[in-house]
Every structure is written in C-alpha cells, then in structure tokens.
Amino acid sequence: MNIGLLGFGVVGRGVYEITTSRDDMQVKKVLCLEDINLPDAESVKDIKCIVEDPSIDTVVEAMGGLHPAYEFVRAAIEAGKNVVTSNKALVCTFYDELLPLAKEKGVSFRSTAAVGGGIGWLSELERSRRVQKILEVGGIMNGTCNYILDNMTRFGLDYAEVLKQAQKLGYAEANPSTDVDGIDTWHKVILSSNIAFGVTVDKQSVPVAGIRNIQAQDVENFKAHGLVCKLISTGKRNGEGYSIYVHPTLVKEGDLEAAVPMNYNLITFVGETSDRMSFYGQGAGRYPTAYNVVQDLVDVLEGKGFYAPYGEKVSADNSVELTWYVRGNWTGAVAENWGEAVVTKAVSVSDMHAWIKENPDAFVAAIR
C-alpha cells in the first residue's frame, strides 16, 4: 500500500511513525504547508501531487476541519483512491455524499478513529450489527469535557480554573467551544447512530447542550444527592423511530460512567443479544488515534469498506420525557428545589432543548 498523507500534525505524524515499521504500507507523499524533510517520503504542497499520482492507492486525511479536507477527500475518491480519515466532522457532515460516492467508485472508506480516538468503537459496531440489532449507542465521547467535569467533581474547582488547566495540558483548544458546547460529541453520536442503526440521521434534528455554564455550586448540589455530572450522548431505537441527543447527565455515584477519570471515554452499545457492552480508553492523543488509523489501513488492505450500508434519511424523535436539574429562569412544573436550582417534573428532550436555546445562560442536566 502506497499512502498519500494529508496533514502532518499530531495524528498525521503518528500515522507516519507507526507505518515506518511495517513492510505492507508506506507513506510516499505528505501534504503539508510547512517544509518538512523525511527520509522516505516526499513533502508536497499541492493536493494534485497526490490525487494525480497513479502509484498512490490510499489517502489518509489527518488535517481536521471541513475545508479543504472535504474537497481533498472527494478528489481522492473521484481519482479511485481508498480513504481513511479521523475527521468526525467531515464524515458526519458529508455522510450522505461521500459514502455513495465511495461505493460508486469501488473504493474503501474507513473512519474508526473519528469516534473514540484509540478505542475500536466503530469497528466493533460493525462486527456487532452483523449478528444482532443494536438498540442503543452512546456514552462519554469527549475527553476534554470529561477532564473538566472530573476535576470539578474531585477537587471542587470552578469551571474556568479547570478549563485553563486543560488548555495548558493540551486537552482543550484555545477556543474550546467545539468540545465544551458538545459539538464534537454531537458529531460522534450522529455517526455512531448512522452505523449502528443503518440510517442517515438528519443532523438538524439532533439537539445538543454542553457544559459551558456549569458552576462549582452545581457540582456541590450533585454531590449532596449522590450524583455525578457527565456529558453523555444517546442514540436509541424508540419504537419505529430514534431518539438521539447530547446533554449533561447526572448519574449515580456507583454507575460505571461516574468512575471514568480524566480525559478518558466510555462508549456503550446495547444489543438485542449481547445486551450492554462498554468500551473504555483514551479518546484522543497522537498514538491512540494514529493506532486506529493504521488499523483501518490494514482493513483496507483486506478489502473492507465502510461499516454499514448507506441507509435511509431519518429525523430524530425526541419526545421521550426525562426529569431535569435546572439552574436558571425555569417557569415550568417543579418537583424539588435544590438551593438556587430546581428539579423539574417530566419534560420531553425536545421541549427542554428548545427552552435551553431561549435561556443560553442557564445550566441544565438530565437526571438518569
């Protein structure tokens, strides 16, 4: 396998380093805006140098973002090259375009590292759905948010203080909105639901709320009631439809998710036959993520394409009702008062997320 590598940052460099020890694949060219010198690969600045090179059969996209990643990946598929990517935003956003195109061109398309970093989550979903119906997917899918919530819980720190720590350690970007507003998790649960249920979820029908507004007083409230806050995603079969959403969720102190520390992920599926199966590991980082990219390259060598057939377009039905912790100007039905916050009576996911949009300074968490 001869590889054209797009990007030479954290993940791209990791892929290069792992493949140098293998004799069944080699990075031949690296697309990088900076000048780099590699002993066995050519550095190029024009995507045409890769997509128009007949000796390159596989392209690894490790650039991140939507543009120009989308244009480059599409050009690679059009040129008849296999594609492996770790870019969850790319796959989620252009799911209904890139998958049919890859099938039309007869090339493989893999993205295991897009969800769970070093956890082989999507590849395990692929194996599982061959023999059983998947009923539910979700869990803790973002290491940055988990690091923040874990440190606030264990050390009683304020959100802003922990966020600065996360940024110093490289767990959070200078602009952390993609993580703390739940967008990263939103992409991941949509992609996971697509594969688990064999559908194409309308992204706009999936609501998301993040952890930006959580305060130390909220965490103390949770502790007083034996609860722990985590940012949890859910994709669930709901009769003939699907409930899919992302928001902070309060779990009991003894629950599995409550014990997940630092920047780790815990992702779960529930199958008709297997029941609950959970996968734990680092959700980001150079070598954990690059490891799954290389796993995908091995799968491409073995002729494996995408994880599930391209499915019908569906919208999420989030009429399921939950009880909620709300600190903000809540005027609906109240079951309990917790200091400055309240616990609501049952409210549907769709109605609560609509209220969150109208009250952007509030903090809301579902109570499981």
Residues tagged active-site: 188
Could you tell me the two tokens for 116?
A: 């769970």
**What torsion, rounded to 10 degrees, do the Cα atoms 208, 210, 213, 219 define?**
120
130 CA to centre of own chain: 22
Q: Helix, strand, or coil here: 270?
A: strand
Alpha carbon separation from 211 to 40, 91, 142, 214 (Å, rounded): 45, 24, 11, 6
- Of the chain, the end-to-end C-alpha distance in Å amounts to 47
Query: Rg (Cα) of the chain, in Å, rounded?
Result: 21
In angstroms, the CA 51 to CA 73 distance is: 9
Strand partners, 276: 270
User: Do you find a cis peptide bond into 360, omega within 30 degrees of 0?
Assistant: no
Strand partners, 334: 344
**What torsion, rounded to 10 degrees, do the Cα atoms 279, 285, 286, 291 define?**
0
Q: Helix, strand, or coil here: 234?
A: strand
Strand partners, 2: 26
CB 293 within 8 A of CB 11: yes
Non-local (6+) Cβ contacts of 340 within 8 A are: 217, 327
